[in-house]
Structure 1
Amino acid sequence: MEEARWSRAQAAAAYNRVAAETLNGEVRENSKIGRSHVSMWVSGVQPQGVAPAILCQALSRRLKREITPEEVGFTVSTSPAQGALDWRVDPLIALNDLGSGVDADRRRLLTGGVYSAAALILPDETWWTAMAQPPAEEPAAGKRVGDGDVATVRELTQAFSRMDQRRGGGHGRRAVDEYLKSEVLDFLRGRFANDETRRAMFAASAELAYLSGWMAFDNSEHAVALSRFNTAVKLAARSGDAPLSGHILRAMAHQALDLGFRSEALKIAQASVHGDRYAAATPRERALLGVVHARTLAADGQKQAAARALLSAEDDLSNARDGIREPDRTFFFGEASLAHETACTLRDLGDHQRAVKEFRRSVRTRGAAFRRTHAVTLGYMGATQIAQGGIEEACATWTSVLDAMEDGIYSGRARQTVVDMRKLLSPFRKRGIPAVGALDARATVYLAQVD
């Protein structure tokens, strides 16, 4: 706590933020604490329930390195690489364990730790090679699976993906999980017409598992998201689809970066653009992989490398044109998305003026079908504007965020921009600026309604 420069009240507040996003409303022992709890733990009382895992996670995010229970002085063991986060666990087992109604995955993850750097260590190349090998023999039983079944999974993925872009990850993820556990698992255990169909079904299933992970990430259910990404990577590796593996690794890097795990995010992003994951990808997907890699380089302080990666991503996207068949999973990535990620990169490099320019380009060029990301972009832009001293300008931008959020967007990331907005406005509340007072009051009402 001294290293984190936290008071006991600040430690409790940070704990409660992590607990809220991890438990997602589930009541557990020590699911919410006060400063008195922290005082007891500092004095030597051993925390119970989910407290060790949650507190270590809060400290890890603050200090930008993994803090283990042992380092803090707790006697409980919480290995975050257990269960579905272990690369040796068959992805079909992970799918079979998906919960219905109550998220059983979240329960298991909380007994073995929450989102943690230890679960971000990727397997070596021998693992990837072994996973891509066809099975030694086909199952004797199971339903016959053909190309039409693959098309069905892909169509459902596209439908939910578009809803996610419009309404946010808080809509429909449980339905996706239920379909994964029931229909998709039966397909993966079935008898395939040929090896090409088998690989196609594993790839289609990987994309749906990835979508579930992305929706959980967007809704701030970070431990669940990591579990789904892990399963999706395994399924993609089984399919032998290298660009798809890169696509999922890119999402893992994005999440790790947002949560402050910078070195881990960089390693995963580097893996996402390694070998055929980038070389065999289409131009639009290359641009997506490359721009997230640029962001991780910027967060790591590698300014020149980040700039080069941004230029490469721009070149790749400029090569995405009619006649090149892009995978459906890249439908959302265009000029607006590239501008958004470029702006985040420039912001992390300290170039706020150019970052605001790119955020504006993103807002200007984004279509109406991508309302969730639009709200997130506006939230980031307002934060960058206020960092430049543009208080009135930031308030106008953030007003647009609330307009979007109040129109039915359910996204933890978008909601977090409203929380951050109130924090950034706090130094200006007593200055008598009408726009600040009006916006802060509106944000307070909004958060009270959704919390």
Structure 2
Amino acid sequence: MARERNERLAALLLEARWSRAQAASAYNRVSAETLNGEVRENSKVGRSHVSMWVGGTQPTGVAPAILCQALTRRLKREITPEEAGFAASTSPAQGALDWRADPLIALNALGSGVDTDRRRLLADGVYSAAALLLPEEAWWNAMSRPPAENEASTGKRVGRGDVETVRELTLAFSRMDQRRGGGHGRRAVDEYLKHEAHDFLRGRFAGDATRRAMFSASAELAYVSGWMAFDNSEHAVALQRFNTAVKLAARSGDAPLSGHILRAMAHQALDLGFRREALQIAQTSVHGERYAAATPRERALLGVVHARTLAANDFKQQAAKALLRAEDDLAKASDGVREPDRTFFFGEASLAHETACTLRDLGDLQRAVKEFRRSVRTRGAAFRRTHAVTLGYMGAAQIAQGGVEEACATWTNVLDAMEDGIYSGRARQTVIDMRRLMSPYRKRGIPAIGALDARAASYLAQVD
């Protein structure tokens, strides 16, 4: 009996403008990121595999999840196995991301267990909408209550000095991430979380205030690990770290920090095409004490990402209002309000970057380019990675308006930054996008296009 052609998959590949070979290449990139070199069924495929799947053969092993993830990233919306014409998945929910699971167990599995985390996440499906479901409000209230007396640890005594040590280390790694990108040093963060931070969290605290402070400090360090993984395009790992960070922050009762971590989760979900889920997470990040108890600078950061998710879901008026509120919040940050000494690196340059992304998603490319320029002009030298990402986005907006020479000049600055020691999957993606956007102009004899395309190709060949 002849197989029935998978018209759903064929239509998705057509929408993505992928040949069979290009689809296989995108699949293999996602597979390499997720499996980290582990060989499993269909861990690497060729164009013949894609042709067979279009022809009606049902993919097996990890193939359905990985192909759907590749399509999701390309099309900027979630593609489920069912939408791709595959049999419904029978995988259980991601146990590693169960909100009932003890975050200290997750910490203990870090470091040398990074690959184990990857395998467990993949076994239940790669980064997906199911993993982005948040707990009910009752969960947050229960987590913030002090532990019962019989749950007290008998570990080593933990004082304020230990809390400050974790905070100092967190700031140091966060600064390094901003300068060098998330591909540099994350395993060192995980090793510290697994050993020292884990021991502190199981220790004997001088009082509940110290306990809460240590859980808050450790949550922020786990967040930094997650952000570094996200920046390095290790998305399943990043989600697991964010999940652990949210749990630790909830146990500390630090509502603004919980909002900060949820904001990062929303940012990641939006970048990967999960627009509806990103909006739900962003709305949770600005709900209740997560927004109300935050400082003006913290509120501005939460608000501007909320604005982006609103724009991505075509809520134009709400997005515009959220942007204005974020601007107002940031303006209040200079009124003598004391800000927490932690990883809220948010100022005019960051606001301009996120505002530009929102305007871009609303279709206002002219104003988006103006805001990208403001971000580039006001960003300090300590934020080289984000500077490169901003330039990449600005070049994309410029070429979309027909400014080819202008875009080439902007993208040249991206490569200057990247070749100077930035290890960032997000920044690298801007180079991939750059080449794709230049593709229609390659045969027009534009000198700037030829020179930049050759340089970008050489760079990617060196880092792949």
Normalising by structure 2, we get a TM-score of 0.93
What amino acid sits opposite 2:380 in the alignment?
Answer: G
Q: Distance in 1 between matches of 2:398 and 2:55?
A: 43
- 1:316-355 Cα shifts (integer Å, max 9, x gaps): 0011126322123344211000000000000000100000
Query: How far does residue 78 in structure 1 lie from its aligned partner after superposition?
Result: 2.8
Instruction: Answer yes or no: is the 8 Å Cα contact 2:298–2:344 preserved in 1.
Output: no
Structure 2 stretches lacking a partner, 5+ long: 1-8
What amino acid sits opposite 1:404 in the alignment?
Answer: A
Instruction: Answer yes or no: is the 8 Å Cα contact 1:290–1:313 preserved in 2.
Output: yes
Which residue is 1:2 aligned to? 10
Answering whether residue 278 of structure 2 is matched by residue 265 of structure 1, we say: yes
SS in 2 for 1:31: coil
Query: How far does residue 82 in structure 1 lie from its aligned partner after superposition?
Result: 1.9
Which residue is 2:414 aligned to? 401
**Paired residues for 1:133-282 under 5 Å:** 133-137=145-149, 138-282=151-295
Q: Distance in 1 between matches of 2:399 and 2:244?
A: 40
Aligned pair in 2 of structure 1 residues 109, 69: CA closer, same or farther (>3 Å)?
A: farther
Answering whether residue 458 of structure 2 is matched by residue 450 of structure 1, we say: no
What amino acid sits opposite 1:367 in the alignment?
Answer: G
Q: Percent identity?
A: 82
Answering whether residue 458 of structure 2 is matched by residue 432 of structure 1, we say: no
Instruction: Answer yes or no: is the 8 Å Cα contact 2:36–2:115 preserved in 1.
Output: no
Q: Distance in 2 between matches of 1:31 and 1:449?
A: 23
Instruction: Answer yes or no: is the 8 Å Cα contact 2:174–2:343 preserved in 1.
Output: no
- 1:38-67 Cα shifts (integer Å, max 9, x gaps): 233345545344323212323444372351
Aligned pair in 2 of structure 1 residues 358, 76: CA closer, same or farther (>3 Å)?
A: closer
Aligned pair in 2 of structure 1 residues 31, 168: CA closer, same or farther (>3 Å)?
A: same
Instruction: Answer yes or no: is the 8 Å Cα contact 2:76–2:274 preserved in 1.
Output: no
Which residue is 1:58 aligned to? 70
SS in 1 for 2:342: helix
Root-mean-square deviation over aligned CA pairs: 1.8
- 1:71-125 Cα shifts (integer Å, max 9, x gaps): 743476334x323211111111111121417532112111111100111111101
Instruction: Answer yes or no: is the 8 Å Cα contact 1:429–1:437 preserved in 2.
Output: yes
The count of aligned residue pairs is: 450
Which residue is 2:5 aligned to? none
Instruction: Answer yes or no: is the 8 Å Cα contact 1:69–1:78 preserved in 2.
Output: no
Instruction: Answer yes or no: is the 8 Å Cα contact 2:182–2:232 preserved in 1.
Output: yes
Answering whether residue 330 of structure 2 is matched by residue 317 of structure 1, we say: yes
Q: Distance in 2 between matches of 1:76 and 1:317?
A: 45
What amino acid sits opposite 1:35 in the alignment?
Answer: R
Q: Distance in 2 between matches of 1:441 and 1:123?
A: 48
Structure 1 stretches lacking a partner, 5+ long: none
Q: Distance in 1 between matches of 2:84 and 2:309?
A: 27
Instruction: Answer yes or no: is the 8 Å Cα contact 2:81–2:89 preserved in 1.
Output: no
Answering whether residue 123 of structure 2 is matched by residue 111 of structure 1, we say: yes
Which residue is 1:284 aligned to? 297
**Paired residues for 1:346-365 under 5 Å:** 346-365=359-378
Aligned pair in 2 of structure 1 residues 437, 363: CA closer, same or farther (>3 Å)?
A: same
Which residue is 1:32 aligned to? 44
Which residue is 2:86 aligned to? 73
Q: Distance in 1 between matches of 2:65 and 2:289?
A: 37
Q: Distance in 2 between matches of 1:231 and 1:27?
A: 27
Which residue is 1:17 aligned to? 29
1:390 to 393, 399, 403: 403
Normalising by structure 1, we get a TM-score of 0.96
